[in-house]
Amino acid sequence: MEKEIGLLEGLMTTRAMRRYSEESVSEEDIWTCLEAAVQAPSGGNIQPYQFLIVQDPDLRFELAEIYRKGWARYEPVIAPKEFPNDAVREGWERNNRATVHLAENLERVPVHVLVLMPSIDMTVHDDEGPMPVGPTHASVYPAVQNFMLAARSLGLGTSLTTLHRIYEDDVRDLLNIPDRYEVLALLPLGHPTGNWGVAPRHRSADKITSWNRFGEKRDREH
Ligand SMILES: Cc1cc2nc3c(=O)[nH]c(=O)nc-3n(C[C@H](O)[C@H](O)[C@H](O)COP(=O)(O)O)c2cc1C
């Protein structure tokens, strides 16, 4: 039984989990995460997303194959050729081992959650022209994050992944998804084998925050 944690502790320790046991996830827990997801903000409260929960092992295998095909193209291009120091190199290598592990074992994660977004333009126009209040994606990712945080509260791991998008048509074909939807994200959902913890961030809040006018920085006092 997962110990109860507060909201802030939960979100501070929610990170990409890429190693899972094969233990199943209850349908009740999946519903809890979905209900948390739909409570997220969206422009005009229109909720421009749908979820597709994939449990079928054959379909998970096919999804994993599509993901791996994307990974095989992407990985050689993004791998850094050099690192500023050993600590950065070791950090990258650790992360990369987990990423490779997920790619090689994705079908074993008991649930794949696909987040679908209709290809609509939410830009509103008037006589002066378009009013760019935010792309459609901006109304979907809060729901994705809520899903991941709810999973964390239940002791379940997730990782936001998008490599399947390199061959998104194959995903649509496999799962009968109409062309009008983008398959925005694939979240593996399962019981993680690693530990929860606060993930390293190179850009701390103080470095990327201005107060009153851009560029005016403050040190945190306590
Ligand atoms: C838009 C987006 C796409 C991502 N795609 C992938 C992916 O395809 N595969 C993967 O293993 N992780 C993917 N990630 C996860 C990031 O690598 C991860 O969030 C980041 O390294 C921070 O991880 P941490 O919180 O454990 O430190 C993606 C994250 C985002 C926001």
pLDDT tens sequence across 187-204: 999 999 989 999 999 899
- DSSP H or E segment with residue 182: strand 181-190
Identify the band that residue 87 occupies on the pLDDT scale cut at 50, 70 and 90: confident
From 3.90.1150.10, 3.40.109.10, 3.30.365.10, 3.30.750.24, which CATH number describes the 7-190 domain? 3.40.109.10
Task: Report the C-alpha gap between 216 and 30 in whole angstroms.
Answer: 44
Contact present, 115 and 187 (Cβ < 8 Å): yes
Mutate to test the pocket of ligand 1, among 99, 162, 164, 203 (most ligand atoms within 8 A of CB): 162
Regarding beta strands 111-118 and 129-131, do their DSSP bridges make them parallel or antiparallel, or are they unpaired?
unpaired
Amino acid residing at 119: S
Mutate to test the pocket of ligand 1, among 94, 159, 189 (most ligand atoms within 8 A of CB): 159
Amino acid residing at 154: L
Percent of the chain surpassing pLDDT 90: 87
> Residue 192, CB half-sphere, CA atoms under 13 Å: how many?
23
Residue-wise DSSP of 32-51: HHHHHHHTS--GGG----EE
Contact present, 114 and 171 (Cβ < 8 Å): yes
Identify the band that residue 109 occupies on the pLDDT scale cut at 50, 70 and 90: very high
Instruction: Give the pLDDT score at 73.
Output: 96
- Ligand 1 within 6 A of 102 CB? yes
User: pTM for this one?
Assistant: 0.95
CA 124 to ligand 1 center in whole angstroms: 31
Percent of the chain surpassing pLDDT 70: 99
- Ligand 1 within 6 A of 131 CB? no
Amino acid residing at 85: N
pLDDT: which is higher, 27 or 89: 27
